[in-house]
Amino acid sequence: MVAAPDPTTNTILYAGTATGPNTAVSLLNDLSVEEQSDLTEVTDFGDTWISRLQALQSAKFSGGGFFDYYNDATGQTHIMNNAVSGTALWFKLRYGASADDYFVNTRVMVSDFTISTAPKGMVEFKFSADSTGTITHGAD
């Protein structure tokens, strides 16, 4: 398990339809990332020739903030498109003391997406997403 992102540093969530380059999801006022790993005994599945233990990883993302559909340069349209039509979606989370210190990169599927509007004020959105494949860690 990697260290939890520190919100006092350069934590940025990027979204896109491929592994990169992706667009920053700006205007967030809330972001939560939970990453878990576990081991499973693969011999239960009859696979004894390579390894007895296989790591399973998962990541859960949730967040919210403001949404600008027409002038979107913030990556939120990628999240909405995955929720509406199942378009491929990749998240890359950067965090650390500098903008390129450490990252978590994974393909995700949105499990919840809500847009709320009011007669006055900004359009707000909330989302939840779960990883669907390999989770890559490292420094740029």
Question: CATH classification of 12-43+51-138 is 2.60.40, yes or no?
Answer: no
Residue 5: burial class (beta carbons within 10 Å; 0-12, 13-18, 19+): buried
Question: Encoding tokens for residue 94?
Answer: 């950067």
Local confidence pLDDT in tens for the 140 residues of the chain: 344 445 455 678 889 988 766 888 888 889 988 887 655 555 555 555 455 445 557 889 999 998 876 666 668 888 988 999 999 999 988 877 665 566 788 899 999 999 887 777 678 899 999 998 788 877 66
Among candidate residues 59, 61, 56, the one with its CA nearest the CA of residue 37 = 56
Per-domain boundaries in the chain: 12-43+51-138
> What is the amino acid identity at position 92?
K
Structure confidence at residue 1 (pLDDT): 37
What is this structure's pTM? Answer: 0.74
Q: Which helix (H) or strand (E) holds 101?
A: none
Structure confidence at residue 2 (pLDDT): 42
Structure confidence at residue 5 (pLDDT): 46
User: Which residues are 70's β-sheet partners?
Assistant: none
